[in-house]
Amino acid sequence: MLLDRKQTAWVSFSVLAGAAAAVAYLFDPEARLNANGHEGSSWVGLALGVAALAIMLFCSALSLKRKVPHWRLGRAQTWLRGHVWLGLLSVWLIALHSGFKTGGALTQWLWVLVALVSVSAVFGLTLQQFIPRLMLHSVPGETLAQQIQRQLNNLRDFAEQTVITYAGSLDTPAPEWEPVPSPVPAATADAAAPNPQPAPSDPAPASAKGQKSETSVNTAGAEPLRRFYIEHARAYFAGEESPLHSSRTAESLFTALRTMTPAHVHQAVDDLEFLCERRRQLIRQRALHRVLCSWLIIHVPVSWLLLVLVFIHAVFALKFSSR
């Protein structure tokens, strides 16, 4: 979520609600008569605690809404803005509810969890301000995070098929390249051929007899391309150690590969270089996406643990205050 002018309404509401809670806290009549000052068991303290609990339930409902996307309960951005600003407001309400006291062991653990949830939330909100922009510039072909692994597998298949198309096979060395003489005009070739059409009893096409069809690719001179794929690109597309992980090294290697191959193989070199660059972009996007979501590893489980302990705290507080 980007911080922009659309947050103004939520920020204004949170500030006004926080100010109103502070006024109620300062003018709490029970606190003036109590020797211990402000306590969460007073009417104002209970109201602040209930408000904080209500906000926690609202914030936890966001994760439930994401798991059931067909529930039409408002826009996702509206829920997210409320989650952020009301969540920060709840920290202020909790502080007022406790009278800025640490209390017993359970209350101290609650404060630790509140701190973890708040810090992780602020950290995640900060990451969302610059990582998406960084991803936009460094990953021009950004895709869905769920599709990254599938596209990586597709790139490996495309790269292998490209080499096979131009080199003939990955296991058999490609033929050496020699200058091709000027083609014989079709009329002359037809006149010279004693039987230009295959015999009816021979169903095999001409290409199966070692002759190239008009649509086949010239594999001569593609041996450097085949060796390049086996020595460098195969490991790279498999996610193993390879010099192609570095864009500068890859550029130098592909430049050298072009000098070792004839002109008709350069299209395959260009295609292979493009696939390598595309893989680097996807790997970069996956790394940035993991950083962007890293804060959730702490924020989500700690938030649910905090909610459980808050209910336990409320039950014990009501039980002992009724005696």
Same domain, 115 and 33: yes
> Higher-confidence residue: 38 or 281?
281
| pLDDT value at residue 287 | 92
CA distance 302 to 112: 10
What is the band of 178 on the pLDDT scale with cuts at 50, 70, 90? low
C-alpha dihedral sign at 248, 238, 138, 290: negative
Is residue 204 in a domain? no
- Is the pLDDT score of 188 beyond 50? no
Same domain, 71 and 33: yes
Same domain, 132 and 277: yes
Is residue 193 in a domain? no
Helices 105-138 and 266-293 cross at an angle (nearest 10°) of 160
Mean pLDDT taken over the chain? 83
What is the band of 124 on the pLDDT scale with cuts at 50, 70, 90? very high
Residue 128's closest CA among 252, 11, 245, 295? Answer: 295
What is the band of 47 on the pLDDT scale with cuts at 50, 70, 90? very high
Token pair of 73 as six digits:
């309960």
Is residue 181 in a domain? no
The predicted model gives 219-234 an average pLDDT of 89
Domain count of the fold of the chain: 2
Is residue 187 in a domain? no
Provide the H-helix boundaries in the chain. 8-26, 29-33, 43-67, 76-98, 105-138, 148-167, 186-192, 223-228, 234-237, 247-259, 266-293, 296-321
Same domain, 258 and 273: yes
| pLDDT value at residue 133 | 84
Q: Confirm if 317 and 41 have CB atoms less than 8 A apart.
A: yes
Same domain, 55 and 98: yes
Same domain, 104 and 35: yes
Tell me how far the alpha carbon of residue 283 is from its chain's centroid: 10
Length of the chain measured in residues: 323
Is residue 95 in a domain? yes
Q: What percent of the chain has pLDDT over 90?
A: 53
CA dihedral of residues 77, 79, 84, 87 (deg, nearest 10): 180
Same domain, 317 and 266: no
- Is the pLDDT score of 168 beyond 50? yes
| pLDDT value at residue 200 | 39
- Is the pLDDT score of 269 beyond 60? yes
What is the band of 234 on the pLDDT scale with cuts at 50, 70, 90? very high
The predicted model gives 255-280 an average pLDDT of 94
Is residue 109 in a domain? yes
Q: Confirm if 114 and 306 have CB atoms less than 8 A apart.
A: yes
Same domain, 27 and 144: no
The predicted model gives 197-223 an average pLDDT of 49
CA distance 122 to 182: 70
Could you list the residue range(s) of the whole structural domain that residue 20 is in?
5-122+300-321
- Is the pLDDT score of 315 beyond 90? no
Is residue 43 in a domain? yes
What is the band of 78 on the pLDDT scale with cuts at 50, 70, 90? confident
CA distance 250 to 232: 10
| Segment of 60-64, 126-130, 186-190 carrying the highest mean pLDDT | 126-130
Amino acid 261 reads T
Is residue 180 in a domain? no
Lowest-confidence range among 68-77, 186-195, 210-219? 186-195
